[in-house]
Amino acid sequence: MLRALLLAPPGAGKGTQGERLADIYEVPHLSTGELLRAEIADRSPLGLEVEQYLDSGELVPDELLAPLLLQRAEGPEPLSGFVLDGFPRTPAQAHLAHEWGVETGLTFNAVISLEVPAEELIERLVRRGGETSRSDDTIETIRLRQQIYAESTEPLLEYYRERGILIAVDGTGTVDQVTDRITSRLDELDLN
């Protein structure tokens, strides 16, 4: 059963690949960004509180995000496998994820990093900002999200590499090519 984390900078394709991997490995796809955007679209109390963070590109405080994630993870259909996208993205969240994982027997068995050159990331995000309604795909917000990624999230790659579960793949080329690269690496693993 796949219990994967997608760890990559904004614009690298976490959402797209996450959905495909969830289909292929028959596990749910959980995206913190999507969960948060759904709360905002619903105008729920939590949505109203987190909106300012998403719009500015800042991280949502853990005390707002954690209950939302737990609710999804422990909800009517408890998880056994998953493709998680967007959490953890700080060392403190990685610590929390590890504690939950040990408690529930759901520690990650693969952490997938998508490698895409910085210029291409900006291009993809600016294009997405023009095509979709994501309010955080503006140049200033993109810069802040990239900076937060570099400072807070990227260091997690080393943490998972040391634990022997990091799979780093080239995230350029077609969507199919990237999916194939990931699945061929995952299929080498013993996903217990």
Which residues lie near ligand ADP (CB under 6 A)? 10, 32-33, 36, 53-54, 57-60, 65, 86-87, 89, 93, 136, 145
Report, in Å, the least distance between residue 15 CB and ligand ADP: 7
CB of 89 to ligand ADP, least distance (A): 4
CB atoms within 10 A of CB 130: 8
CA distances to 97, 113, 125, 177 from 173, in Å:
31, 15, 16, 6
Query: In terms of CB distance, is 133 or 192 closer to ligand ADP?
Result: 133
CB of 30 to ligand ADP, least distance (A): 11
- Write down the least CB distance from residue 61 to ligand ADP, Å: 7
Q: Which is nearer to ligand ADP, 35 or 166 (CB)?
A: 35
Q: What residue has token string 């309010």?
A: 135
User: Which residue in the shown chain puts its C-beta closest to ligand ADP?
Assistant: 33
Please say which residue, 7 or 186, places its beta carbon nearer to ligand ADP. Answer: 7
C-alpha to C-alpha distances, 156 to 33, 57, 151, 167, 190, nearest whole angstrom: 18, 19, 10, 13, 22
Minimum CB–partner distance for residue 52 and ligand ADP (Å): 9
Which residue, 49 or 161, has its beta carbon nearer to ligand ADP? 49
DSSP at 57 = T
Beta bridge partners of 7: 113
DSSP 70-102: HHHHSSSS--SSEEEES---SHHHHHHHHHHHH
